[in-house]
């Protein structure tokens, strides 16, 4: 009961944040939520035991699909987010059939390599993608109204959080965690591993694609180097691990902690603030092994 | 065994064909590929024995390069010989990094190991940036730009050292693993840490020494690269990535495979770069070959 | 005497601070040498202005935010400066990728913005023709290409032995290099029809991309071989500072020594002049330290910067950052008010003698109305120093032609 009222309180706070916060906080909160969704989607894949390094790749695919849809096919910006998600999902469907048979680091490296492949394609197919210079839209989504953008990203984040919870609470969870813990046992229990893996891969890629599409519409541009930047892989992974993996609240907590830390550290310390950021990551891992959320949970339970 | 022989025959056939049709690409690919594998071998050693993917690998290489730059700039130390100073320093740095960070999280989730090396990587890069700024540094020695004539083709002589060094480091690692007591212990730990502990091997010590030793080996690549590259804080990232690629392509525990993969990818890159108008696609070929090999291997495993 | 001075300046500062300061917000990549030195130069300019009594009787306050070279961080920085610090003006800039993300946010506030970075033509498209509050000081990529043509024409006239008919452009495969190549291609099409700035000069053009060492590349040999085969009169590479020495090393290795070896990176590596390979390399740039010998304002900036920060300005972003503040402040002075309209009018009218070398005056470019610098300079490394070759009024040395080749280095 207390948990439920906390969640309702948090949602109400998040929804009404733009009415009292300044533009800066709204902007920072918006980008943190984008990274939070990436972190959650990465964690959802990880719950099946598959370590994906393709977050930035599908993020970029969604971003490009959305910008091209608006620029070349005059789709409305809001619709283009769905197009970004669907495009990423379709590519994930096609590739998943081939790469999901790989395990552990072979899967990780293949997804990482695919990101580079997407980037090279974006850079070289210049008729479609604008080449190395990228593509711009003259108007950002909602004409750049930061509050509307914030609410858009917030609703997207709520959908992602809900999806993650559905994965945690339904039959999918049992299938997924049994795959992670022992594939042979899962197989012998009659779970069609491949079907589940593919399903999770498609859903998480769609989330990443939608995140990319929103990011691209918010800033009204795509460019190979910025859009496929490894930041969209490394930061979400760090967020999920710092917060605590295999759960919904973990990546959320991690995104909030690291997101605000990186933004406000640089105001305190203009030069070399990333050193402190690195040290925060190291210390969290050493002293809070299960992540911030996992450790809090343990403390609460042991009381 | 026969299968491995076939693979080698195929590999040398490929080398021969490239040499015949694209001689420049052959030499350039061979040299670059050897450099990639020279950097990748220590990473693979750590991954094979400690089970740790070190995301700070390339940044330790950057640090080694800066050490060589200082030695040259302040003491006129010849870059190639600076390895005798850089290697011990990197050994100590590796030791300290291992004791301070990695050892403390060995028992927790294996992804925590990955993340902690990511933390080390950020800290190291930003520290270097603060000390030396983002401006590249260079070391110039005339002998690094000499070229020789092979079958009527003019190629740079210096980078052939990469080929010798990568084979040398490979032999060194194999020798240590097979012929020394430490190496045999390390091999056992790599295969089965729990079993090794039961038979009385000090697993903790093996991990510490392996990590420090592999870090020291980076000095070989660093000292050779000093007169050929621009030294700047973010140099290391792409090398970590490539090393990771080679290790995955070769497969875990396959050290000679890393040299073969390195050369294969180096050649693939060089061939594409040598075709006018298509050099922008060389990355695609690099990653394409990588994905293809991994997927084929994975497929074979699934079929079996 | 000294005590009196301290006392006087204290009173001055106190009285100045009694007034509400005029706030300028700067966004720069502080972890990069360009951004760090531009930030320093801006601080220096603000200090000088405040020591001289500020503007309109009010002190100037400079607030600098790091963009970390990340688009979303650079965009959030605009919101921070506008709503938290409530600045009156935006200045700064470096990377085009970051600026693209900032443009929608800047458009929202429409505060007067004087930008010194972002050369990509995509940024100009994104800004659009209506933004009269936007002033762009750095030459756009296509303007740079045009100005070199003007420069080479002048050089060919003065040095009749110089020939520039076949041009080979090596460009890094990212946004910066490809944009350079694109503008050369456009100009070449015009030149073939006998129009455009390169007409009568460029007879043939060839290009090849390479992967910059700054982005994990650094092997130029395939590209250099193509260039060697083509045997150009002018070889030019558009890449980054990290490419400079390895490219020369590899050019020496394969024996490629064109008559003009030109580099166009935004900055050069540390101690490049001390490298024996640097002698005779021509470069495109906005500024050279040697300008201090021909321009009093460049000399003043050079000395003041070293005195303040104990290091030499290493990239043109240092004098450009200094220019950024002074140009804006001079306009405010002229306007005599903080009203946007008056300041925009003043910015368009004033002429500012810049330490970058040359008079800064606003004129329209292809799309926007308020473009600052249009011309780059043609410089040459000679015995360890960057010398100005063109424009001739700032020349500090004669052109060494042809490129001396590699023997003996």
The mean per-residue pLDDT over the stretch B274-298 comes to: 86
Give the pLDDT confidence of C17-67 residue by residue, as tens digits: 557 899 999 999 999 999 999 999 999 999 999 999 999 999 999 999 999
Total H helices, total E strands in chain A: 15, 2
> What fold is seen in the domain B2-303?
ABC transporter involved in vitamin B12 uptake, BtuC (1.10.3470)
Nearest-CA neighbor of C175 among B230, B269, A126, A72? A126
Token pair belonging to A290: 């299960």
Å from C114 to nearest chain B CA? 25
Using the Cβ of B274 and the Cβ atoms of chain C, whether some distance falls under 8 Å is answered with yes
Interchain proximity B230–C223, CB inside 8 Å: no
Using the Cβ of C175 and the Cβ atoms of chain B, whether some distance falls under 8 Å is answered with no
> In 3-state terms, what secondary structure has residue C337?
coil
- Give chains near C: 3+ CB pairs under 8 A: A, B
pLDDT-based confidence at residue C14 (cuts at 50, 70, 90)? low
User: Is residue A248 within a helix (H) or strand (E), and if so which, with residue range?
Assistant: none
Domain boundaries, chain B: 2-303
**pLDDT greater than 80 at residue B115:** yes
* % of chain A at pLDDT higher than 90: 61
Å from A127 to nearest chain B CA? 15
Token pair belonging to C316: 């043109």
| Strand C377-382 to C204-210 pairing | unpaired
The mean per-residue pLDDT over the stretch A43-58 comes to: 92
* HEC sequence for chain B: CHHHHHHHHHHHHHHHHHHHHCHHHHHHHHHHHHHHHHHHHHHHHHHHHCCCCCCCHHHHHHHHHHHHHHHHHHHCCCHHHHHHHHHHHHHHHHHHHHHHHHHHHCCCCHHHHHHHHHHHHHHHHHHHHHHHCCCCECCCCHHHHCEEEECCEEEECCCHHHHHHHHHHHHHHHHHHHHCHHHHHHHHHHHCHHHHHHCCCCHHHHHHHHHHHHHHHHHHHHHHHHHHCCECHHHHHHHHHHHHHHHHHHCCCCHHHHHHHHHHHHHHHHHHHHCCCCHHHHHHHHHHHHHHHHHHHHHHHHHC
Interchain proximity C31–B276, CB inside 8 Å: no
Using the Cβ of C156 and the Cβ atoms of chain A, whether some distance falls under 8 Å is answered with no
Give the pLDDT confidence of A105-163 residue by residue, as tens digits: 889 999 999 999 999 999 999 899 999 889 999 999 998 899 999 999 999 999 999 99
Q: Which of C30, C66, C97 sits opposite A225 (nearest CB)?
A: C97
Nearest CA in chain B to C222: B274
Nearest CA in chain B to C207: B277
Q: Is B73 exposed, middle or buried (0-12, 13-18, 19+ CB in 10 A)?
A: middle
Q: Which of C215, C249, C270 sits opposite B137 (nearest CB)?
A: C270
The mean per-residue pLDDT over the stretch A12-29 comes to: 93
- Tally the C-alpha atoms within 13 A of residue C300's C-alpha that lie toward its C-beta: 12
The CATH class that applies to domain C142-285+377-394 reads: alpha beta
Using the Cβ of B255 and the Cβ atoms of chain C, whether some distance falls under 8 Å is answered with no
Nearest CA in chain A to C64: A270
Q: Between the CA of residue A69 and those of A3, A66, A217, B67, B197, what are the distances in Å?
A: 41, 5, 11, 50, 59
What CATH homologous superfamily does C20-139+293-360 map to?
A: Response regulator (3.40.50.2300)
Nearest-CA neighbor of C123 among C144, C143, C97? C97
Interchain proximity B230–C242, CB inside 8 Å: yes
Give the pLDDT confidence of B245-271 residue by residue, as tens digits: 999 899 888 999 999 999 999 999 999
Q: Which of C252, C269, C314 sits opposite B137 (nearest CB)?
A: C269
For the ranges A146-150, A219-223, A264-268, C256-260, the lowest mean pLDDT is seen at: A264-268
> Residue C114, Cβ neighbours under 10 Å: how many?
25
The mean per-residue pLDDT over the stretch C61-78 comes to: 94
Interchain proximity B145–C252, CB inside 8 Å: yes
Q: What is the count of structural domains for chain A?
A: 1
Nearest-CA neighbor of B226 among B72, B85, B94? B72
Using the Cβ of B131 and the Cβ atoms of chain A, whether some distance falls under 8 Å is answered with no
Å from A92 to nearest chain B CA? 15
Using the Cβ of C105 and the Cβ atoms of chain A, whether some distance falls under 8 Å is answered with yes
DSSP string, A69-81: HHHHH---HHHHH
Interchain proximity C245–B126, CB inside 8 Å: no
**pLDDT greater than 90 at residue B99:** yes
Nearest CA in chain B to A120: B284
Entry pTM: 0.92
Q: What is the pLDDT of residue A196?
A: 85
* More confident call, C288 vs C18: C288
DSSP string, C343-364: HHHHHHH--EE-TTSSEE--B-
Å from B146 to nearest chain C CA? 6
Interchain proximity A109–B294, CB inside 8 Å: yes
Mean pLDDT (chain A, rounded): 90
Interchain proximity A138–C126, CB inside 8 Å: yes
Token pair belonging to B34: 């050897």
Q: What is the pLDDT of residue A91?
A: 97
Å from B21 to nearest chain C CA? 15
Å from A265 to nearest chain B CA? 14
Domain boundaries, chain C: 20-139+293-360, 142-285+377-394
Mean pLDDT (chain B, rounded): 91
**pLDDT greater than 80 at residue B209:** yes
Å from B77 to nearest chain A CA? 30
| Strand A221-222 to B147-150 pairing | unpaired
- Look at the block and give the residue holding tokens 């070349």: A72
Interchain proximity A133–C121, CB inside 8 Å: yes
Q: What is the pLDDT of residue A183?
A: 73
- Look at the block and give the residue holding tokens 């969640």: A7
| A103 is a domain residue | yes
Mean pLDDT (chain C, rounded): 91
- Give chains near B: 3+ CB pairs under 8 A: A, C
Q: Between the CA of residue A48 and those of A169, A232, B285, B297, what are the distances in Å?
A: 14, 21, 30, 22
Q: Is B21 exposed, middle or buried (0-12, 13-18, 19+ CB in 10 A)?
A: exposed
- Residues 282-341, chain C: which have Cβ within 8 Å of A? none
Give the pLDDT confidence of A177-202 residue by residue, as tens digits: 777 777 777 777 767 778 888 999 99
Nearest-CA neighbor of C20 among C72, C74, C58? C58
Q: What is the pLDDT of residue C392?
A: 93
* Residue range(s) defining the domain that contains residue A20: 2-230
What proportions of chain C, in percent to the nearest 5, are helix, strand and coil? 45, 20, 35
Å from A54 to nearest chain C CA? 19
**pLDDT greater than 90 at residue A94:** yes
Token pair belonging to C4: 């009196």
Interchain proximity A215–C173, CB inside 8 Å: no
Give the pLDDT confidence of C336-395 residue by residue, as tens digits: 999 999 999 999 999 999 999 889 999 999 999 999 999 889 999 999 999 999 999 889
- With beta carbons less than 8 A apart as the criterion, state whether A222 and A63 touch: yes
What is the distance between the alpha carbons of residues C69 and C35, in angstroms, rounded to a whole number? 10
> Residue C274, Cβ neighbours under 10 Å: how many?
11
If phi > 0 it is left, if psi is from -120 to 50 it is alpha, else beta; for residue B231 that is beta
Interchain proximity B115–A281, CB inside 8 Å: yes
Q: Is C130 exposed, middle or buried (0-12, 13-18, 19+ CB in 10 A)?
A: exposed
Interchain proximity A223–C100, CB inside 8 Å: yes
- Look at the block and give the residue holding tokens 């079993």: B195
If phi > 0 it is left, if psi is from -120 to 50 it is alpha, else beta; for residue B76 that is left
Torsional sign, CA A221, C28, C177, B280: negative
What is the distance between the alpha carbons of residues A160 and A248, in angstroms, rounded to a whole number? 10
Tell me how many degrees the CA angle B64-B68-B70 measures, rounded to the nearest 5.
Answer: 115
What proportions of chain A, in percent to the nearest 5, are helix, strand and coil? 80, 0, 15
| A202 is a domain residue | yes
**pLDDT greater than 70 at residue C5:** no
The mean per-residue pLDDT over the stretch A209-226 comes to: 95
Q: What is the pLDDT of residue B10?
A: 83
- With beta carbons less than 8 A apart as the criterion, state whether C153 and C201 touch: yes
DSSP C212: -
- Tally the C-alpha atoms within 13 A of residue B109's C-alpha that lie toward its C-beta: 18
If phi > 0 it is left, if psi is from -120 to 50 it is alpha, else beta; for residue C269 that is beta
Using the Cβ of C210 and the Cβ atoms of chain B, whether some distance falls under 8 Å is answered with yes
What is the distance between the alpha carbons of residues B39 and B57, in angstroms, rounded to a whole number? 9
Nearest-CA neighbor of B254 among B31, B46, B20, B48? B48
Å from A182 to nearest chain B CA? 16
| Strand C385-390 to C260-263 pairing | unpaired
What is the distance between the alpha carbons of residues B205 and B211, in angstroms, rounded to a whole number? 10
Give the pLDDT confidence of C192-214 residue by residue, as tens digits: 998 888 988 899 999 999 999 99
What is the distance between the alpha carbons of residues B162 and B34, in angstroms, rounded to a whole number? 6
* More confident call, B200 vs B302: B200
Nearest-CA neighbor of A242 among B114, B53, B107? B114
Give the pLDDT confidence of C86-132 residue by residue, as tens digits: 999 999 999 999 999 999 999 999 999 999 999 999 999 999 999 99
Tell me how many degrees the CA angle B164-B170-B176 measures, rounded to the nearest 5.
Answer: 130
Q: What is the CA radius of gyration of chain B?
A: 20
Interchain proximity A146–C71, CB inside 8 Å: no
| Strand B153-156 to B147-150 pairing | antiparallel
Chain A positions contacting chain B at CB under 8 Å are 46, 51, 98-99, 101-103, 105-106, 108-110, 112-114, 116-117, 119-121, 123-124, 230, 234, 237-238, 241-242, 245, 271-272, 274-275, 277-282, 285-286, 289-290
The mean per-residue pLDDT over the stretch B4-22 comes to: 81
Q: Which of B101, B247, B291 sits opposite A286 (nearest CB)?
A: B101
- Residues 263-302, chain C: which have Cβ within 8 Å of B? 267, 269-272, 275-277
Å from C97 to nearest chain B CA? 18
Picking from A42, A43, A101, A102 by the largest number of B CB atoms within 10 A of its own CB, the best residue to mutate is A102
The length of chain C, given as a count of residues: 409
Interchain proximity B156–C250, CB inside 8 Å: yes
Q: How far is C-alpha A246 from the geometric centre of its chain's CA atoms? A: 14
């Amino acid at each position: 009961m207390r948990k439920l009222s906390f969640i309702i309180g948090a949602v109400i706070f998040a929804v009404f944040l733009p009415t009292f916060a300044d533009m800066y906080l709204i902007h920072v909160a918006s980008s943190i939520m984008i990274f939070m969704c990436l972190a959650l989607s990465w964690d959802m894949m990880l719950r099946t035991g598959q370590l994906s390094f393709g977050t930035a790749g599908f993020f970029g695919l969604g971003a490009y699909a959305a910008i091209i849809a608006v620029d070349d096919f005059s789709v409305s910006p809001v619709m283009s987010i769905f197009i970004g998600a669907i495009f990423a999902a379709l590519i994930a469907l096609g590739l998943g059939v081939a790469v999901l048979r790989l395990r552990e680091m072979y899967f990780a490296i293949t997804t990482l390599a695919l990101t580079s492949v997407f980037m090279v394609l974006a850079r070289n197919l210049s008729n479609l993608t604008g080449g190395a210079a990228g593509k711009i839209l003259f108007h950002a989504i909602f004409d750049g109204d930061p509050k509307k953008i914030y609410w858009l990203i917030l609703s997207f984040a709520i959908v992602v959080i809900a999806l993650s919870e559905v994965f945690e609470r339904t039959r999918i969870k049992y299938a997924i965690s049994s795959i992670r813990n022992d594939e042979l046992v899962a197989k012998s229990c009659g779970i069609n591993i491949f079907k589940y893996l593919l399903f999770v891969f498609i859903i998480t890629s769609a989330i990443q694609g939608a995140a990319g599409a929103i990011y691209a519409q918010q800033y009204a541009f795509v460019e190979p180097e910025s859009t496929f930047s490894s930041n969209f892989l490394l930061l979400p992974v760090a967020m999920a691990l710092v917060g605590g993996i295999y759960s919904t609240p973990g990546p959320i907590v991690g995104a909030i902690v690291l997101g605000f830390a990186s933004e406000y550290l640089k105001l305190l310390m203009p030069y070399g603030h990333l050193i402190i950021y690195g040290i925060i990551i190291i210390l969290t891992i050493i002293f809070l092994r299960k992540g911030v959320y996992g450790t809090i949970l343990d403390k609460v339970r042991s009381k | 065994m026969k299968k491995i022989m076939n693979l080698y025959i195929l590999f040398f056939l490929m080398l021969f064909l490239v040499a015949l049709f694209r001689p420049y690409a052959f030499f350039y690919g061979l040299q670059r590929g050897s450099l990639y594998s020279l950097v990748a071998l220590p990473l693979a050693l750590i991954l094979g024995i400690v089970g740790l993917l070190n995301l700070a690998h390339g940044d330790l290489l950057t640090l080694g390069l800066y050490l060589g730059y200082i030695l040259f700039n302040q003491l006129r130390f010849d870059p190639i010989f600076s390895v005798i100073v850089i290697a011990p320093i990197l050994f100590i740095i590796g030791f300290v990094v291992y004791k301070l960070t990695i050892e403390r999280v060995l028992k927790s989730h294996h992804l925590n190991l990955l993340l902690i090396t990511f933390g080390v990587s950020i800290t190291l890069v930003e520290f270097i940036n603060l000390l030396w700024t983002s401006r590249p540094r260079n070391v110039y020695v005339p002998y690094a730009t000499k070229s020789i004539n092979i079958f009527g083709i003019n190629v740079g002589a210096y980078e052939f050292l990469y080929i010798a060094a990568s084979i040398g480091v490979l032999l060194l690692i194999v020798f240590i693993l097979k012929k020394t007591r430490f190496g045999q212990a390390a091999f056992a730990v790599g295969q089965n840490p729990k079993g090794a502990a039961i038979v009385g091997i000090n697993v903790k010590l093996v991990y510490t020494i392996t990590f420090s030793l592999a870090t020291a080996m980076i000095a070989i690549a660093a000292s050779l690269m000093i007169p050929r590259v621009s030294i700047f804080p973010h140099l290391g990232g792409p090398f970590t990535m490539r090393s990771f690629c080679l290790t995955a392509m070769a497969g875990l525990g396959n050290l000679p495979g890393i040299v073969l993969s390195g050369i294969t990818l180096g050649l693939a890159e060089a061939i594409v770069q040598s075709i006018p108008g298509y050099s922008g696609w060389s990355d695609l070929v690099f990653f394409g070959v990588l994905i293809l090999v991994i997927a084929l291997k994975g497929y074979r495993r699934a079929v079996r | 005497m000294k005590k009196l001075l301290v006392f006087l300046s204290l009173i001055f500062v106190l009285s100045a601070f009694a007034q509400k300061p005029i706030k300028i917000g700067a966004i720069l990549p502080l972890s990069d040498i360009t951004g760090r030195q531009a930030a320093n130069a801006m601080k220096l300019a603000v200090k000088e202005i405040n020591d001289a009594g500020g503007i309109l009787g009010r002190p100037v306050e400079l607030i600098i935010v790091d963009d970390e070279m990340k688009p979303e961080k650079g965009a959030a920085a605009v919101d921070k400066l506008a709503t938290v610090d409530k600045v009156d003006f935006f200045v700064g800039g470096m990377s085009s990728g970051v600026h693209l993300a900032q443009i929608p946010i800047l458009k929202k506030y429409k505060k007067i913005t004087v930008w010194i970075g972002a050369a990509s033509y995509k940024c100009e498209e994104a800004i659009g023709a209506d933004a009269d509050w936007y002033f762009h000081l750095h030459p756009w990529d296509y303007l740079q290409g045009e100005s070199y043509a003007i420069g080479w024409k002048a050089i060919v006239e003065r040095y009749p032995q110089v020939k520039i008919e076949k041009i080979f452009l090596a460009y890094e495969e990212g946004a910066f290099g490809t944009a350079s190549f694109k503008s050369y291609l456009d100009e070449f099409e015009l030149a073939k029809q006998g129009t455009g700035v390169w007409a009568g000069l460029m007879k043939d053009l060839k290009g090849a991309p390479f992967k910059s060492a700054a982005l994990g590349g650094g092997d130029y040999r395939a590209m250099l071989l193509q260039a060697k085969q083509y045997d150009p009169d002018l070889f030019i590479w558009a890449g980054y500072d990290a490419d400079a020495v390895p490219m020369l090393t590899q050019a020496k290795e394969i024996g490629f020594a064109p008559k003009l070896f030109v580099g166009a990176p935004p900055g050069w590596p540390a101690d490049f002049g001390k490298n024996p390979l640097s002698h005779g390399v021509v470069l495109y740039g906005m500024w050279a330290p040697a300008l201090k010998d021909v321009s009093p304002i460049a000399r003043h900036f050079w000395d003041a910067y070293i005195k303040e920060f104990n290091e030499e300005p290493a990239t043109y972003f240092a004098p450009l950052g200094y220019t950024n503040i002074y140009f804006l402040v001079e306009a405010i002075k002229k306007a005599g008010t903080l009203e946007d309209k008056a300041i925009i009018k003043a910015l368009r009218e004033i002429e500012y003698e810049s330490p970058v070398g040359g008079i800064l005056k606003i004129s329209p470019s292809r799309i926007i109305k308020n473009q600052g610098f249009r011309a780059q300079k043609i410089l040459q490394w000679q015995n360890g120093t960057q010398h100005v070759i063109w424009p001739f009024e700032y020349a500090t040395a004669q052109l060494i032609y042809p490129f001396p080749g590699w023997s003996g280095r």
